[in-house]
Amino acid sequence: MKLLRYGPLGQEKPGILAADGTIRDLSAHVADIAGDAILPEGLARLAAIDPATLPVVEGSPRLGAAVGGTGKFICIGLNYSDHAAETGATVPPEPIIFMKATSAICGPNDNVEIPRGSQKTDWEVELGVVIGKTAKYVSEDEAMDHVAGYVLVNDVSERAFQTEHHGQWTKGKSADTFGPTGPWLVTRDEVPDPQNLKMWLDVNGKRVQDGSSKTMVYGVKFLVSYLSRFMSLRPGDIISTGTPPGVGLGMKPPVFLKAGDVVELGIEGLGTQRQVFVQA
């Protein structure tokens, strides 16, 4: 299934993408794509519904973030061997974990605000893993049972805030609108191998990232198990798993985003995003 949320910011309704490409309204069945709706039994109930029997959503509504009620937005740094190489960094012996504020989450095609004082706003196409069942001290063999599905994420970053202002990376990752998420929550059954997905990102029509999740150092199973050792993972939590090479910071000379720039990105099977960058 491809589950989604549509409507004005803060008033999103639950929907599903039908086989004919139309959005169908799920409001009569669930309040939101969040909480109980993405538990295994909740997803099973939704899977039993024939989308053709649901009301068609007319027009082209705004799409919100694909999952609601996210309590934790956990990011993994330097998790692609080729991305680590382009930035001159060494692949860490254990995953680098940092948090992105949930207030950064926005719709996949919403405008993204360049923070005041920013000189180094950057892009990162990432595979997001959505937790669908509480995970605590789970093994790698059990890990996928706790995954509801996957989302496309742009882990927008302000590099000066991230690395030059001292302290942790979070301050360079958490500005409002720095977490476009969606367009869909694609359930796990539709993604047989999350470690073999093509990923791409364009800036103003130029392809700058063209990679694959197969160069991920720490894969989805490992990350879910690893993170569950340090904190419980709960339904709606998102793990953003890192980016392939081609970020602005890695270019020679570095290239960063400015107001008016258009960023488009996608992951095989997970849809696409398009953002216009504006000055905050």
| pLDDT attached to residue 123 | 98
Residue ranges matching CATH 3.90.850.10 in the chain: 73-279
| pLDDT confidence tier of residue 86, bands split at 50, 70 and 90 | confident
CA distance 231 to 235: 13
- 226-237 pLDDT tens trace: 999 999 999 999
| pLDDT confidence tier of residue 167, bands split at 50, 70 and 90 | confident
Tell me which residue of 150, 153, 222, 140 sits closest to 185, measured CA to CA: 150
| pLDDT confidence tier of residue 92, bands split at 50, 70 and 90 | confident
**Could you tell me the sign of the dihedral formed by the alpha carbons of 108, 275, 125, 165, in that order?**
negative
Are 227 and 97 spatial neighbours (Cβ–Cβ below 8 Å)?
yes
Tokens representing 73 are 């937005």
| pLDDT confidence tier of residue 149, bands split at 50, 70 and 90 | very high
Share of the chain above pLDDT 90, in %: 92
Residue 202 parent element (H or E): strand 198-203
Q: Which residues contact 76 (CB under 8 A, 6 or more apart)?
A: 95, 96, 97, 218, 223, 239, 240, 241, 242
| pLDDT confidence tier of residue 56, bands split at 50, 70 and 90 | very high
What's this model's pTM, rounded to 2 decimal places? 0.96
Residue 15 parent element (H or E): strand 13-17
| pLDDT confidence tier of residue 124, bands split at 50, 70 and 90 | very high
| pLDDT attached to residue 89 | 72
Q: Which superfamily is assigned to 73-279 in CATH?
A: Fumarylacetoacetase-like, C-terminal domain (3.90.850.10)
| DSSP 8-state class, residue 161 | I
Mean per-residue pLDDT for 146-151? 98
Tell me which residue of 134, 175, 135 sits closest to 154, measured CA to CA: 175
Q: How far is CA 43 from CA 2, 34, 38, 212, in A?
A: 11, 11, 5, 28
| pLDDT attached to residue 78 | 86
| pLDDT attached to residue 25 | 98
- 189-230 pLDDT tens trace: 999 999 999 999 999 999 999 999 999 999 999 999 999 999
| pLDDT confidence tier of residue 143, bands split at 50, 70 and 90 | very high
100 SS3 class: coil
- If you average pLDDT over every residue of the chain, what do you get? 96
Are 213 and 199 spatial neighbours (Cβ–Cβ below 8 Å)?
yes
- 30-55 pLDDT tens trace: 999 999 999 999 999 999 999 999 99
To 10 degrees, the CA torsion angle through 40, 46, 48, 53?
180
